[in-house]
């Protein structure tokens, strides 16, 4: 029977819990505008810290500005162990559309905006979100925006750089310019295009942070998943998260929620052990 995986992994120069929290869902519908219940949003953040989360994923373009402001208002001054990871490379228009923001001026402004709203002198990890493909990775050079981030890192405004929505080729090219500490792509039980990439990064000791670990705006739907969950007396979403933790030791999870109850359910998935026979059933979902 597979052992419960290690509970921590290195992100930059931090040891973080492999079960973190993604703040995207704290914004309004479509990740746009304020939350329906700001007090509950603040409660979720405070509960996450109280329950041992020390890795929070956010971005100034969530809302925009909403999640960073909530994080600051709820948690600042931050616990020493907390690693806040942010993301740049996109912006929102007044209707909530996601647009590229890759120019030198836009990237510098994004770093400054994230620092200011989060109340941080230095951003621990900044992910460059490729917008060459909106709905998935697309090949193309990231040299120009990465050179800007490398300069900001040299200036001491950023400690570490990660990549999001990228291909293996883009990661390899980026590594020739600057150390890459994490990759954040879409990956879950049913969306398994990065299987080989995860193994490659694991061999290099680089964290892989799947976004939409529970399927995104449309939750994972699978009869096999439901059956395994019933057998393990867990929710389907807990099983999906536990599967990711057992998939590879370099996977860091950032499931998002605006519900204190769902937050606890998600975090409990870290204690769930999926036996080999159930893993075999789950493996068939992504084939």
Active site residues: 62
Q: 195 Cβ partners below 8 Å, 6+ apart?
A: none
Phi, psi at residue 145, to the nearest 5°? -65, -35
Cα–Cα dist 121/96, whole Å: 29
Instruction: Find tokens 């994923």 and name the residue.
Output: 57
Answer for the pair 127, 181: CB distance below 8 angstroms, yes or no: no
CA triplet 264, 282, 251: central angle to 5 degrees? 55
Conformational region of residue 215, where left means phi above 0, alpha means psi within -120 to 50, and beta covers everything else: left
């Amino acid at each position: 029977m597979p052992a419960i995986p290690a509970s921590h992994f290195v992100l930059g120069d931090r040891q973080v819990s492999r079960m973190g929290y993604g703040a995207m869902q704290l914004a309004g519908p479509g990740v746009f505008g304020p939350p329906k219940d700001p007090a509950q949003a603040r409660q979720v953040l405070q509960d996450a810290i109280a329950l041992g989360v020390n890795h929070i994923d956010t971005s100034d373009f969530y809302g925009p500005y909403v999640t960073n402001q909530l994080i600051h208002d709820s948690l600042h001054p931050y616990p020493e162990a907390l690693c806040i990871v942010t993301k740049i490379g996109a912006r929102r228009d007044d209707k909530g559309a996601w647009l590229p923001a890759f120019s030198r001026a836009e990237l510098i402004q994004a770093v400054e905006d994230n620092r200011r709203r989060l109340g941080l002198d230095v951003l621990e990890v900044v992910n460059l979100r490729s917008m060459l493909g909106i709905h998935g990775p697309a090949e193309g050079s990231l040299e120009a925006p990465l050179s800007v981030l490398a300069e900001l890192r040299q200036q001491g405004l950023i400690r570490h750089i990660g990549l999001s929505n990228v291909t293996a080729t883009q990661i390899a090219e980026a590594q020739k310019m600057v150390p890459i500490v994490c990759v954040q792509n879409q990956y879950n039980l049913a969306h398994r295009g990065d299987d080989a990439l995860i193994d490659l990064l694991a061999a290099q000791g680089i964290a892989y942070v799947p976004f939409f670990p529970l399927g995104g705006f449309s939750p994972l739907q699978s009869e096999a998943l439901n059956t395994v969950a019933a057998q393990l007396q867990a929710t389907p979403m807990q099983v999906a998260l536990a599967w990711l933790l057992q998939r590879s030791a370099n996977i860091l999870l950032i499931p998002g929620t605006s519900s204190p109850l769902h937050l606890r359910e998600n975090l409990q998935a870290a204690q769930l052990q999926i036996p080999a026979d159930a893993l075999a059933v789950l493996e068939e979902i992504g084939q």
